[in-house]
Chains A and B, each alone.
Chain A
Amino acid sequence: MQLAAARQCASGEDATDTDIESTPLVEQIAALEERMRAFSRIVSSKAPIAQTPKTLVWALNKTKLYRYAPNPEAPHRHRVPLLLVFALMNRPYILDLRPGHSFVEFMVGRGYDVYLLDWGSPGIEDKHLKFDDYALEYLPRAIRKLKQISGSEQFSMLGWCIGAILTTIYAAMRPDDGLRNLLLLTAPLDFSNREGLTFARWTDEKYFDVEKVLAAFGNMPGEMIDYGARALKPVENYIGNYCKLWDNLDNPRAVEAWQAMNTWVTDNIPIAGAAYRQLIVDLYRNNALMRGELRICNQLVDVGRIRANLLTVIAEGDHITPPCQSETVVEKVSSQDKQTYRVPGGHIGIMAGSSAHRTTWPHIEEWLAARSD
Chain B
Amino acid sequence: MKALLALEDGRTFSCRSFTGPGEARGEVVFNTSMTGYQEILTDPSYYGQMVTMTYPLIGNYGVCPEDVESDRIHVAAFIVKEYQEFPSNFRSKGTLADYLIKSHILGIEDLDTRALTRHIRKSGAMRAMISTTDLDPESLVARAGQIPAMQGSDLVQYVTTRKPYFWKYNQPDYVDAKSLEDPFIWRHKGKKHSVVALDFGIKYNIIRCLENAGCEVLVVPAKTDVQTIKRLNPDGIFLSNGPGDPEPLTYIVETIRELLDNFPIFGICLGMQLLGLAMGGKTMKIKFGHRGGNQPVKNIDTGKVEITSQNHGFAVDLNTLDKSKCHLTHINLNEDSLEGLKNDTIRAFAVQYHPEASPGPHDAAYLFNQFAKVMEHAKA
Q: Is B one of A's binding partners? A: no
